[in-house]
Structure 1
Amino acid sequence: MEYLSASFLLPLVILCVSLTLVFRNYSYRSISPKLPLGRKGWPINIIGETMDYAMASKSGNPDKFITDRMSKYSSDVFRTSLLGENFAVFCGPSGNKFLFSSENKYVSAWWPRSLRETLHFPSDYSRKGERLDFLHEFLKPEALQDYIPIMDSMAKEHLHANWSPYKEVKVFPLSKKHTFGLACRLFLNIEDPEHVTTLENPFNLLAEGIISLPLNLPGTAFNRAVKAGKVIHEKVLAIIRQRKMELLENKGSAQVDLLNRMLLVTDEKGGGIEEEKEIAARITGLFIASRDTTSSAITFVLNYLAEFPHVYDEILKEQMRIAKSKGSDELLNWDHIRKMKYSWNVVRETMRLTPPCQGAFREVTADFTYAGFTIPKGWKTFSTVHSTHKNPKYFPDPEKFDPTRFEGKGPEPYTYLPFGGGPRMCSGKEYARLQILTFMHNAVIKFKFKKVNPSEKITYGLAPIPKNGLPVRLDPPEC
């Protein structure tokens, strides 16, 4: 009898347990969040799709990585895994608008580990750094106007010393040389060529690994970048501490570089060692931006001027009118810059086709829903130029170089984002604009350019780079 009871009850127990498990599984599925479609790659959260993105970038097609996944998963948002993190990649103007308007509500500033460690950010930099938001004030057009004559004179000197003696030059390395020297002068008041070279050498290693898989093993780009970043950090900290001593002794008050202005403000707020580290990290970041992204923009402006003689001719006319409107020894000023309207449209079209910055990172601070998908807290987001810059919906005939796109009202909102957008738009936008335009003015009225290799390939690292440095032949302009 006991045997019969057990044999009867056993199937019943199994049935009940099975139903319970099915119900729980169904309940779990019914309440689990609907994550964006996509794939994490392999191994999950270590390499993910980082290598896929890197390979696309090296082949000159980072936009293909984005557009392929938009077609396969969603034109609104898709998931991936990059640099060891879960990412939601927001696409199109609606996605860009949502992210830029969600600052401090759903998302906040975030930098990849590779960038944080190579630039030696303080551990709570993203929060404490808010106290240094006055940096934006120093990089506004009104504050930068005094720097225009310095930019002009240094561009003249650079072209005279490094371009004029030669019939052929490589644009990209020379552009980096110029932008770095200018940053040394305006950020830290360093003019001595040997001092500039000593500071620049580790930046070459830093730039190679600043956005890389954070594997700190001997021989990796990240390992070399961490070591180079430490050298740079110590050098900048030493300059900061020396300058603070000079300010205390009233020896440095006449200097008007960026560092002095930052120190005067932080001293008023009682800044200490942590503030020094934050300033060092920010200045190093500005050096990277001005050296690599701005030099990339300058390089590709000259690339397109060499490709399209009619565009060069229009710029030459505009810049010659400006040159003739001032005295032979008069340097450029703010009024001259404001007259460079066609030139700036050429720069803007250049940055549409070969954007110096590929997008912006954020960290999700609270779960939210977008386009029917849940984006969990702790995930990272990426807004990318590659979902709009070459989309024919927003830029007809997108592969055509056409500066007139930016006349009148210009592109639709949130479709053109070389400097990002929202409250955290790149603070160096105006600095880059003035630097590029002053260089263009001097280069165009001095030379006409012809590409040595018309089919030179482009690779993407921290910024787009011509594979062979863009060698060009120099001829006098036909004024």
Structure 2
Amino acid sequence: MDIFYATIISLFVLIISFSINFIIHKSSKQTKNEKVLPPGCTGWPVIGESFEFLSTGWKGHPEKFIFDRMSKYSPIVFRTSLMLEDAAVFCGAQGNKFLFSNENKLVQGWWPKSVDKIFPSSDRTSKIEAIKMRKMLPNFFKPEALHRYVPVMDTVTQQHFATWWDGKDEVVTYDLAKNFTFWLACKIFINIDDPERVRYLSVPFESIALGLLSIPIDLPGTPFRRGINAANFIRKELMDIVKQRKVDLDEGKATASQDILSHMLVFKDEEGGFMAEYDIADKILGLLIGGHDTASSACAFIVKYLAELPEIYDGVYKEQMEIAKSKAPGELLNWEDLSKMKYSWNVACEVLRLAPPLQGAFREAITDFMYNGYSIPKGWKLYWSANSTHKNPEFFPEPTKFDPSRFEGTGPAPYTFVPFGGGPRMCPGKEYARLEILVFMHHLVRKFKWEKMIPDEQIVVNPMPSPAKGLPIRLYPHKE
């Protein structure tokens, strides 16, 4: 037993010594090279400040990590260590503008190791192939394609409400919002709209989302391992779908333009090569996550705020009823109808400001550069945070107040409202998300008023904001 305790003490002393030498080495190296790094603290050896970064989100206040360090170190940029990497957090509109406008010049996209493990092809896909992918996607998100999606979205939305909302006294909002946005993504991306098939595929997706920005500890029971297992399960299902679609294309039962999956299968690069089936399945997996997780969070929080703010609900209801009354019985929504939903979209934008689904994203320095008098070394990971502007009184006075009028006229100042990112890496599905959110709002307020069943329900962010108990509500259907 004495040997055991002696060994433990020796290991403890070794770790402390290593940590002190590591800090001294970094400090002496900085002095020797006469480079001034951004102010800040790298936290614990190896894990850095990753736990604090994630835990403030788990407690429902992801902005706390950012604002505490902006106050202590610098409101412009501070140093930290996140996801096992040296990092700098760029703050405010100035930081957003710098990172977004220097894409592929001074910085490039970067994801934590947890993402590379869950999406193996992202690690082996070259920068050129990633650019090709971003060029391909706009074909499905350009105006003429979006025009075609509106009636499809309207049909699926009506089916969703008829199946899961009508006739119910109480529902759990977040679960239904995820079901709704995943159903739409399956219909538009891979042409699957059978409710039971959609539900079967949707179950593992929560584990994938939780694993993506978890600390990459690959042990049984960890969020990281569960994310890997869930992604492998979905990928296998998608591979079967990809193989069947190839057969359908060969036999003329499917067309190249019917959805993103078909387009990927017939797409040739400059050398005339086709995408590998595994890579297609992996990219469809990523699109399904991006196409439903963020929008489902937004839809759930729209329900939350409309329940809390009757005057805001009344404004949305009035606008949507005017559109409904202009339609013939059974007539589906179209692009022009959605363009009239200006107040509703302002409300949705204010929800996206207060509860941004995308909390921020990483970049990587591809060369040494100076920023605001500080040296940013090549290889450092750089993080921009939506909350550094969204909840900052410098850009949004009374930032906790719900005020849709912030988005009237020209709206917020550039680089301050960034729920979809910005620059060349801005989410290509931004307009797609706008359409599905507005169609959801249209049918929601036309059918119901509602009240929250847990008045002070906690909000957790992991990695997207969600109500801790799923936002259960009591429904009060409108009389026809």
Please, what TM-score do these two structures have when normalized by structure 1? 0.90
Q: Which residue of 2 aligns with 1:206?
A: 208
Q: Does structure 1 retain, via aligned residues, the 8 Å contact 2:185–2:288?
A: yes
How many residue pairs end up in the alignment? Answer: 452
Deviating 4+ runs (over 6 angstroms) = 25-28
Instruction: Give the aligned partner of residue 229 of structure 2.
Output: 227
* Alpha-carbon offset, residue 143 of structure 1: 1.5
> In the alignment, what sits opposite 2:262?
260
1:407 aligned partner: 408
Are the structure 2 counterparts of residues 447 and 93 from structure 1 closer, same or farther at C-alpha, using a change threshold of 3 Å? same
How many angstroms apart in 1 are the aligned matches of 2:273 and 2:197? 27
Matched, 1:197 2:161: no
Q: 1:212 to 1:28 in 2, by over 3 A?
A: closer
CA shift in 2, pair 1:245/1:212, >3 Å = same
Which amino acid counterpart does residue 367 of structure 1 have in structure 2? Answer: D
Contact 1:120 1:230 in 2 (8 A): no
* Contact kept in structure 2, 1:243 and 1:260, CA below 8 Å: yes
Distance 1:413 1:207 in 2: 29
Q: How far, CA to CA, are the matches of 1:150 and 1:222 in structure 2?
A: 35
Question: What TM-score do you get using the length of structure 2 for normalisation?
Answer: 0.90
**Shift in alpha-carbon separation, 1:181–1:396, aligned structure 2, 3 A:** same
Aligned to 1:357: 358
Name the SS for the 1:360 alignment partner: strand
Indicate the larger mover: 275-284 or 374-383. 275-284
Bigger Cα displacement from structure 2, 228-237 vs 314-323:
228-237
Q: Kindly indicate whether the alpha-carbon contact (under 8 Å) linking 1:189 and 1:255 is maintained by their aligned counterparts in 2.
A: no
- How far 1:263 sits from its partner (Å)? 2.4
Which residues of structure 1 form unaligned runs of 5+? Answer: 1-24
Deviates more, 1:439-448 or 1:181-190: 181-190
Provide the C-alpha distance between the structure 2 equivalents of 1:266 and 1:338, rounded to a whole number of angstroms.
35
1:72-105 Cα distance to aligned partner (Å, 9 max, x none): 1111111111111111110011111010110111
Which amino acid is 1:97 matched to?
K
Between 1:373-382 and 1:35-44, the stretch displaced more is 35-44
Distance in 1 of aligned mates of 2:219 and 2:96: 36
Whether the 8 Å contact between 2:179 and 2:199 is mirrored in structure 1 is: no
Structure 2: runs of 5+ lacking an equivalent: 1-26
User: Given residue 379 of structure 1, which amino acid in structure 2 is its aligned partner?
Assistant: W
Instruction: Specify the alignment match of 2:378 in structure 1.
Output: 377
Deviation per CA, 1:146-199, whole angstroms, max 9, x where unpaired?
A: 111111111111111111121111100011011111111111111223322332
Secondary structure class of the residue paired with 1:60: coil
Per-residue deviation, residues 214-245 of structure 1 (Å, max 9, x unmatched): 11111211011111111222222232232123
Aligned ranges 1:220-369 → 2 under 5 Å: 220-253=222-255, 256-266=258-268, 270-272=272-274, 275-369=276-370
| 8 Å contact from structure 1 (residues 122, 277) kept in 2 | no
Q: Distance in 1 between matches of 2:223 and 2:173?
A: 25
Whichever residue aligns with residue 161 of structure 1, its letter is T
What letter is aligned with 1:294?
A
Change (3 A) 1:30 1:85: closer
Matching residue's letter, 2:462: G
What per-residue deviation string (whole Å, max 9, x for no partner) do you get for residues 279-337 of structure 1?
Answer: 32222112112222110000001111111111111111110111111111110110001
Percent identity over the alignment?
51
Q: Which residue of 1 aligns with 2:15?
A: none
Q: Match of 1:400, SS? A: coil
CA distance in 2 between counterparts of 1:95 and 1:380 reads 14
CA RMSD of aligned residues (A): 1.9
Asked whether the 8 Å contact 1:315–1:342 carries over to 2, the reply is yes
TM-superposed CA distance for 1:35, in Å, is 1.1
Q: Residue in 1 aligned with 2:92? A: 92
Q: Is the 8 A contact 1:292 1:462 kept in 2?
A: no
Tell me which amino acid in the other structure corresponds to 2:321.
M
Deviation at 1:28, TM superposition (A): 7.1
User: Any idea what SS the aligned residue of 2:204 has?
Assistant: helix
CA distance in 1, matches of 2:182, 2:28: 60
- Structure 1 residue 442: deviation in Å? 0.5
Aligned to 2:447: 446
Structure 1 pair 201/478, CA: closer, same or farther in 2 (3 Å)? closer
Deviations, residues 117-167 of structure 1 (Å, cap 9, x unaligned): 112324332512222221123123332211111111111111111111211
Could you tell me how far apart the structure 1 residues matched to 2:75 and 2:185 are? 39
Cα distance between partner residues in 1 of 2:268 and 2:326:
42
| AA at the equivalent of 1:184 | C
1:458 aligned residue: 459
* Change beyond 3 A, Cα 1:28–1:381: closer
**8 Å contact from structure 2 (residues 256, 263) kept in 1:** no
Query: Structure 1's 269 and 341: CA in aligned 2 closer, same or farther, altered over 3 A?
Result: farther
SS at match of 2:447: coil
**Alpha-carbon distance in 2 for matches of 1:244, 1:27:** 57
Instruction: Write the letter of the residue equivalent to 1:401.
Output: F
Residues 205 and 224 in structure 1, CA contact (< 8 A), matched pair in contact too = yes
Cα deviations by residue, 1:383-441 (Å, 9 ceiling, x for unpaired): 11111101111111111100011001111110110000001101111111111000110
Q: Tell me which of 29, 32, 35 is aligned to 2:31.
A: 29
CA distance in 1, matches of 2:307, 2:243: 46
Structure 1, residues 230-272: CA drift from partner, whole Å, max 9, x if none?
A: 1222222232232123223322117612211232333786334
d(CA) in 2 for partners of 1:428 and 1:338? 17
Matched, 1:167 2:150: no
Displacement of 1:39: 1.2
Question: Could you say what secondary structure the match of 1:123 adopts?
Answer: helix
